[in-house]
Amino acid sequence: MTVDLVVVGLGYVGLPLAKEAVASGLNVLGFDAYGSVVDGLNNGRSHVDDLSDSDIATMQSKGFRATSNVEDIRGADAAVICVPTPLSAEGGPDLAAVIAATETIAEALAPGMLVVLESTTYPGTTEDIVKPILERGGLRAGTDFHLAFSPERIDPGNAQFGMRNTPKVVGGIDPASTDRAADLYARFVDTVVRASGTREAETSKLLENTYRHVNIALMNEMSKFCHDLGIDLWDVIKLAKTKPFGFQAFYPGPGVGGHCIPIDPNYLSHRVKSELGYSFRFVELAQEINMAMPAYIVQRSQDLLNDEGKALKGSKVLLLGVTYKPDIADQRESPARPLGVALLAKGADLSFHDPYVESWAIDGGSMTRVADLDQAIAQADLVIFVQNHDAYDAEAYANAAALFFDTRGVTNPDGASHRL
């Protein structure tokens, strides 16, 4: 049977994409360089939050399988690259996984094939990096095969918007490539939006997350001076968002996490600086503000303990929630990590609880996960509410704790908690 689509990279982006493509009747092959991922999926085990083992079983019943053998890719109609792009030491994207995935596809590239890059990166990657690798064998993009970029927009844990009902942006190196990519995604995505080209599609993803990064930084900066002025910022935001136009609510917090917001804007900033020689000042300032929030939380924690006649050093501090967003197990770039490191550096007796995390290692050591949450809250000198999981009853915890610091603004402002 002809393979309609090969998904290269079976993580939080690639696996949901494969699921929707399979559900729409495409014959889908998953490719991953990690044998443990391939073996797990072929044995019916999911390793991402948004797919269950039963989802994998359903996919398998419709022909899906995973492989690490490049020979299995040969003859496929299309290949989509969904591999991670972490920050490099220089501050731009580390394209090692993209290059490796492209080289894998290049080995199996055939006339008429469509190749789409979904990995978030700087503008120009598709044409400057991916295209030359694919053309090494003599085939020419736009003539012998099609090439496009389509930014991933997966939001792990989002129950309202998933792969199918989130509009898909596609931009090819030429109109024919755009059309071919649009036709592919239209088979399993409700709305496809055509971009002018690959660079516009690449930049659109960076704009989306830079917009969020900058606005979160604005709220984080406001949280500091509103606290000093005795103003309840959470109430301010509630009031402002009653305006039906001209305002979108963003919220302060202990920092930003996940693969997108703390990472993606730096790709654009790095590209502007390296290519044009000047700074993208909004991004650099937003990064400075957001990265400083864990230290600010520690400062506020010290102040709260001082008011009770206690030092942070030696105090029992309990962190509630260490993932980067609610109701998932994903810890990538979670602000809980630099917060924990800073608390340890100040001598805190640190422990944690998270319903999705059994073990948590920071600063070279494993943190204690409390077994009895109620008892741990009662015994702690300070409880810091870091992530608002649905399983948590923040108001009850605030009433039970000696000191409760709510960094998510979910508790009653007139209650027992102290809010960011």
CA angle 297, 299, 304 (to 5 degrees): 90
Instruction: Please pick, among 15, 114, 260, 384, the residue that the annotation labels catalytic.
Output: 260
Across the beta sheet with 316-320, the strand order is: 368-369, 349-353, 316-320, 382-385, 404-406, 418-419
Tokens of 159: 């129950």
Cα–Cα distance list, 122 to 92, 172, 287 (Å)? 8, 16, 17
Q: In a 10 Å sphere around its CB, with 0-12 CB exposed, 13-18 middle and 19+ buried, how is residue 374 labelled?
A: exposed
Tokens of 213: 């990064």
Amino acid at 94: D
Q: Which residue has the tokens 């909004």?
A: 282
Amino acid at 369: R
Residue 260 designated active-site: yes
Tokens of 111: 């006339």
Distance of CA 231 to the CA centre of its chain: 32
Distance of CA 352 to the CA centre of its chain: 22
159-175 as b/e: b if 16+ CB within 10 A? eeeebeebebbbbbbbe
Nearest Cα to 254, choosing from 410, 374, 378?
A: 410
Local structure of residue 72 (DSSP, 8 states): G
Q: Which residues contact 221 (CB under 8 A, 6 or more apart)?
A: 289
Sign for the CA dihedral angle at 39, 44, 47, 50 comes to positive
Q: Which residue has the tokens 């000093």?
A: 228
What distance in Å separates the CA atoms of residue 406 and residue 420, rounded to the nearest whole number?
Answer: 6
What distance in Å separates the CA atoms of residue 259 and residue 9, rounded to the nearest whole number?
Answer: 15
3 state SS of 62: coil
Q: Which residues contact 129 (CB under 8 A, 6 or more apart)?
A: 95, 98, 99, 102
Cα-based torsion angle of the residue sequence 29, 34, 38, 44 in order, rounded to the nearest 10 degrees = -130
Is residue 37 within 8 Å of residue 60, measured between CB atoms?
no
Catalytic residue IDs: 260
